[in-house]
Amino acid sequence: MKWVPRALLVLAAFAAAAQPVPPANLAATMQDISHALGVSCGYCHSAERGSGQPEPKKEIARAMMAMTRDINARIEAAVGKTAAETARVDCVTCHRGVAVPRQLSDVLMQTLREKGAAAAVAQYRDLYDRYSGRGAYDFGEDTLLGIAQTLANSRPDDAIALLQLNLEFHPKSAQSYVVLAYAYTRKIDDASAMAALEKALTIEPDNGVARGQLEQLKSYHRKR
């Protein structure tokens, strides 16, 4: 195999990245984009054909396509392999069936700030029904748990609502019960806190954090 200077490989890759999509492949490319974003053609082609009206999403799509080609060119140049030999980035890599590829925790936090916990709970249920199993969002127990942990001290009612939702989907989440107990203590509801800790220990009998907090709460009640 003839040796090629690395600089030439980089220049060749970038030149390839700058090339527009061939017309013959354009329809297939648009179908791939539609599938990756979970949208129909009208999402980008929003103006009437031939009207000359601006179509902002189409321009964004073109910029994103150019960015994707550039990233793949950089990958090929970095590893010194052909396109067929390297892992490639595509629209679906980030979008995974949603038009705006945001983390579920970010989506829910925005809803919490703007509309409150009830709206966030409803949004979670809706997104779960629509996207569960498709890889678009992380519906694992840590997503709601992480949000609740940040809210438990200052907004315990919101944290409790999210943790109860989390336990509905992940009933064996001992850590959710532990954080739920903490949120209840912020409301001076020690009875509910102790009940939550007892449930955590039913799931994980060796959970030292839950056991320690439960003994502390019981001791406090005895002293009172």
User: What CATH number did the domain enclosing 127 receive?
Assistant: 1.25.40.10
Question: Is residue 213 over pLDDT 70?
Answer: yes
Least confident of 1-15, 120-134, 143-157: 1-15
Q: At what angle do helices 104-115 and 117-131 cross, to 10 degrees?
A: 150
For residues 142 and 70, membership in a common domain is answered with no
Decide if 146 is inside a domain: yes
Residue 16: pLDDT band (50, 70, 90) is very low
Dist. CA 151–CA 69, nearest whole Å: 41
Report the alpha-carbon angle 148-154-160, nearest 5.
40
Average pLDDT, stretch 43-67?
Answer: 82
Domain with 42, as residue range(s), is: 6-95
- Measure the CA–CA gap between 182 and 105, rounded to whole angstroms: 21
**Residue 142 banded pLDDT, cuts 50, 70, 90:** very high
Does 13 map to a domain?
yes
Closest by CA to 160, choosing from 188, 190, 128, 182, is 182
Q: How far apart are CA 81 and CA 60, in angstroms?
A: 29
Do 121 and 217 lie in a common domain? Answer: yes
- Which pLDDT belongs to residue 24? 58
Q: What is the mean pLDDT of residues 143-163?
A: 98
Highest-scoring range by mean pLDDT, 4-13, 18-27, 70-79, 136-145:
136-145
CA distance 79 to 116: 48
Q: Are 136 and 188 contained in the same domain?
A: yes
**Is residue 84 domain-resident?**
yes
pLDDT in tens, 154-196: 999 999 999 999 999 999 999 999 999 999 999 999 999 999 9
Same domain membership, residue 134 and residue 182: yes
Residue 222 has pLDDT above 60, yes or no: no
Percent of the chain with pLDDT over 70: 88
Last residue of a domain, one of 37, 70, 95: 95
Structure tokens at 102: 């945001």
Average pLDDT for the chain: 85
Q: Do 181 and 87 fall within a single domain?
A: no
Residue 13 has pLDDT above 60, yes or no: no
Q: Are residues 216 and 120 part of one domain?
A: yes
Q: What's the burial of 52, exposed, middle or buried (CB within 10 Å: 0-12/13-18/19+)?
A: exposed
In whole angstroms, what is the distance from residue 144 CA to residue 137 CA?
A: 12
Residue 18 has pLDDT above 50, yes or no: no
User: Helix or strand or coil: residue 95?
Assistant: helix
